[in-house]
Copies of this chain bind each other. A is one copy, B any other.
Amino acid sequence: MVTMNFDEAESFCAGMTEAEDEAARELLERISGKWALAVLQVLGEARGPLRFSRVLERTGPVSQKVLTQTLRMLEREGFVTRTLYPEVPPRVEYELTELGLGLLREILPLWRWIVGKLPEIERNRQDKASDKAAAA
């Protein structure tokens, strides 16, 4: 039995409307997609603007198309800026906004917690799998 004090239990949705709750969940879903967080990390670590090709290089095995979609989504939400320099050939640079940096800061403790708990979660999965095998 999990013990939880009353205030904490009450506070999960305190002061949130249904619409806010829904909008927050949708946003969390978008930024938790396969590449969004990786791109935010790359831009955070760069501590300055990066060209598309650099972002692509540092993000990992993502296709150009998916990276473009991810950057557009992040730009639309206001987490990233895109600046076009009309040179020949044109140069496009991406940079984290203050909002994007704030998001990264808020995600970091959760991220660390998850990584710390991975061994426990992995054990849980294996126990479940062996329970299943024993029952079969």
> In the complex, what distance in Å separates the CA atom of A47 from the CA atom of B2?
7
- Given A12-B108, A110-B110, the answer on whether A95 and B2 have CB atoms closer than 8 Å is yes
Q: In terms of DSSP, what is the predominant structure of the interface of chain A?
A: helix
User: For the side of the interface on A, what is the size category?
Assistant: 35 or more
* A136 lies within 8 A of chain B by Cβ: no
A 40-52 binary contact with B (CB < 8 Å = 1; else 0): 0100110110000
18 A-B pairs within 8 Å (CB atoms) are namely: A1-B95, A2-B97, A4-B44, A12-B108, A20-B115, A23-B118, A25-B38, A27-B114, A28-B32, A28-B111, A29-B33, A29-B34, A77-B121, A102-B113, A102-B117, A103-B113, A106-B114, A110-B110
Partner-B contacts on A (CB < 8 A): 1-2, 4, 6, 8-13, 16, 20-21, 23-25, 27-29, 32-34, 37-38, 41, 44-45, 47-48, 75-78, 95-111, 113-115, 117-118, 120-121, 123-125, 128
> In the complex, what distance in Å separates the CA atom of A39 from the CA atom of B117?
20
Give the residues in chain B near A117, CB-CB below 8 Å. 99, 102-103
> In the complex, what distance in Å separates the CA atom of A113 from the CA atom of B4?
22
Give the residues in chain B near A45, CB-CB below 8 Å. 9-10, 12-13
